[in-house]
Amino acid sequence: MRALRFLGRIIGRALFALVVVVVVVIAGAYFHMRSSLPDYGADQTVKGLAQPVQIIRDRNAVPHIFANSFEDALFGLGYAHAQDRLWQMEMTRRFASGRVSELMPSKLLGISLPTPSLSSDRAMRTLGIRNRAEQSYNVLSDATKANLAAYAAGVNAWLTTNKAALPPEFVILQHTPEPWQPVDSLLWGKLMALSLDGNWRREILRARLFKALPDRAGDLFPDYPADAHTTLGAAQQALEKLPLEKLFDFTGLPGIVKTMASNEWVLAGTMTQTGAPLLANDPHLSFEAPSTWYLARLVGPGFDIRGATSPGTPGVVLGHNGRIGWGFTTTNLDSQDLFIEKVDPTNPDRYVTPDGVAPFRIREEIIRVRGAAEVKLRVRETRHGPVVSELIAAQSGTGGEIFETGHVLALQAVALDAADTTVEAIAGVNFARNWDQFQEALRRYVGPMQNIVYADIDGNIGFTSPGRIPLRRKGDGSVPAPGWSGEYDWSGVAPFEQLPRLFNPSSGRIVNANAKIGGSDYPHFITRDWAEPYRQQRAATLVSRSQRHAASDMVSIQADALSPDVFDMMPLLLRARPANVRERDAIERLQVWDGRMLRDRPEPLIYTAWVRALNRALYADELGDTLFADVAYSDEVKIPLHMLQHSQGWCDDKRTTEAETCDQIIGKALGMALDDLSARYGSSMDSWRWADAHPALFRHRLFDAIAPLRFLGNRSIAVDGGFHTLNRAAPSVNFARAPYAALHGATLRSVMDFSDLDRSRFAVPMGQSGNPLSPWYDNALEDWRDLRYLFIAGRREDLLRRAEASQWLRPAP
């Protein structure tokens, strides 16, 4: 017994010592990472400046950058971006360059990382995003190159002068970033163009559906012309053996946006209390930690530019310059086409063109992988663009060999334009003083195509959609087309003068929320993938209710949580006959519900779950689980509306032997929905709340992949809203971890008041800092949720009196 007690004391002391060591290690790591917080008040002597720059941080850590030239202001912006968002910048350039694998280990802290870094690297190298950015850099003006160089010098000045630890992600990965290059600042724009004009994913989906259900697939695209799939028919045999399903998965890589939505409206002075225009904008993107946007102000001789910047890029993307202001929504332009190329049967390095057989352009890529052997990638390109179908062969380890089809798929896309001058257009917009200069600047805009609202202090309002609209010889690019004949080739782009625009309309208002722009008489095809019109119709209704709007009314409209789709769906849903008391309770609640997606109510949860279950009950049996998940990934209602109203043959469940009516399918879907909600949230409907299922979830790209570290980087907050509300908070059906969590919505809100632009207000989720240990990492989250805005304004001397910190950057001798 004495021996056992002695052994117990030894083990106890050892365990205590182990706990002490673990605590000390964790505490040491914590305080080491705490030292990574930048000192906003430390003056620095730096190389690359012409004259001193002062950075004044307000109480929200928004930098007000005062300089004597625009180049020096961009130097200061690069410095501030590096202070606050270096990891975000590093991941963006590595993702776009196809260099994530050399950074990410296969395991971290003993945990396997699920991040598909090698897959994304293969995709980016195949598309040649960095190569195209380098080619675009070469065609830029000297002034633009000087701006990019000044910004890069600012980033590198912080890397050089920073004596503290790097942000936590660098510490954990034991990684030191390379110097920032001017071309790195072009990569974000390329990714946005690839994402926001992301039609190639839709093309593959259509091809898969027409392959699976050639006579019925049109019902899954209700606005799709009945004869439009004849293009696919011409190439059906070539597509039969291509791995469309696996290629579809590649188009959904992390970092590539899959859902697009935004709101904007501008009112002339005839509709406002002050007699001056009001402009409201809230671009919707995926929720991330840190946030997409970074607020900043650039001040110098002849310029005072304020608004949202993108870390890694120079200038203000969305905002105002003291005279004009602007906001964006995406157009969803179909600027990406997949071409089916016919390979020469006698030589796999040649393919068929309208002028005969031609060689593929071939380049070799080497992907370095941390802790493993490097991967060699052989990329082939046709006259249309890179061959993307070989991504699957590379993934399967066959060395990039073609499949036994005799055909490959090549991608042509505006995003891959090697002469992209969009960065020059944004710089021009920053300095435009009126509508004519604004338009002239946008001549240099390539993509992604955006719907831009405009206002100025002279009382003008306008709308324009710049970007390169492909002109096709035949077809509309909605499905893969034969590439060997030339009949579906692009013949050019729409002239700038023929792009959609509107100036000082008699109505005094312009509203856009991604719905269709222009009428049937517009001469050029833009897209078939317009957003459902619910948000746009709701915004138009609200702005037309008054001729005397104040800026606070714009905020109220941005906060609107009414979901107009409810009024289309509910009459159909309520045809269901309740099978039990539980179903009767749910129906009675929905009968008196006003359609507002409020976080303290159960009805939004019941409605959303019912619509999802109805989608599954209507067509999952025909599609199978995989294809169904790719079609029904969002909470759009146009498919079930179309089927219940115009194509009721879908109501017959193929998995049962008995015929079913649509009303029976609706009732069955209600039972399925309530079963799921009861399993997740308990059997008492009185206790269900939209808030419990529907937090806005901001995921950190690294820490979200490491379950024990999610607490460090991820943030969440219960929110109002849904897929079709102006206050958008859209869930993703396929996010298994939290299927009702909001993953997409307003990443910026702005309201610009042209009677006094100092009263313009902005809100971003999370905060200015990308460092999870910073007090400004998530300080803005509740204000964003509750639509409390901040002002980016103030005279220099007033800012200094109430500043959080002030910092001088002085040029080295």
| pLDDT tens track for 589-602 | 999 999 999 999 99
The CA distance from 485 to 473, in Å, is 11
- H or E segment to which residue 328 belongs: strand 324-330
Q: For 697, what's the count of Cα atoms within 13 Å in the CB-facing half-sphere?
A: 21
| Gyration radius (Cα) of the chain, Å | 28
Cβ–Cβ < 8 Å for 75, 160: no
Query: Alpha-carbon distance 512 to 518, whole Å?
Result: 11
Q: Which of 476, 530, 529, 522 is nearest to 502 (CA)?
A: 522
Q: What are the C-alpha distances in Å from 195 to residues 281, 415, 741? A: 20, 9, 22
- SS3 call for 351: strand
Q: What is the pLDDT of residue 106?
A: 79
| pLDDT at 604 (0 to 100) | 98
Which three-class secondary structure state does DSSP give residue 301?
A: coil
Residue 235 token pair:
């190439």
Question: What is the identity of the amino acid at 603?
Answer: E
> 231 CB contacts (<8 Å, ≥6 apart)?
474, 475, 478, 479, 481, 488
Instruction: Say what the pLDDT of residue 519 is.
Output: 82
Opening angle at CA 195, ends 430 and 296, nearest 5: 30
Phi, psi of 727 (to 5 degrees): -80, 80
pLDDT at residue 118, rounded to an integer: 87
The pLDDT value recorded for residue 783 is 98
Give one word for 539, left, alpha or beta, with left for phi > 0 and alpha for psi -120 to 50.
alpha
Is residue 341 within a helix (H) or strand (E), and if so which, with residue range? strand 336-342
pTM of the full predicted structure? 0.92
What's the confidence (pLDDT) of residue 117? 83
What are the distances in angstroms from CA 617 to CA 357, 412, 498, 544, 634? 49, 37, 45, 39, 16
In sequence order, the 6+-apart residues with CB closer than 8 A to the CB of 267 are: 277, 278, 279, 461, 508, 509, 543, 549
Low-confidence ranges of the chain (pLDDT < 70): 1-34, 113-116, 223-243, 245-260, 392-405, 653-659
Nearest to 719 by CA among 730, 710, 711, 709: 730
As a whole number of angstroms, the distance between CA 719 and CA 715 comes to: 13
Tokens standing for residue 292: 């997409």
Q: What is the pLDDT of residues 500-556, one digit of tens each?
A: 999 999 999 999 999 999 888 899 999 988 888 999 999 999 999 988 999 999 999
Distances (CA, A) of 109 to 29, 32, 91, 94, 106: 13, 17, 20, 22, 10
Q: What does the pLDDT read at residue 102?
A: 93
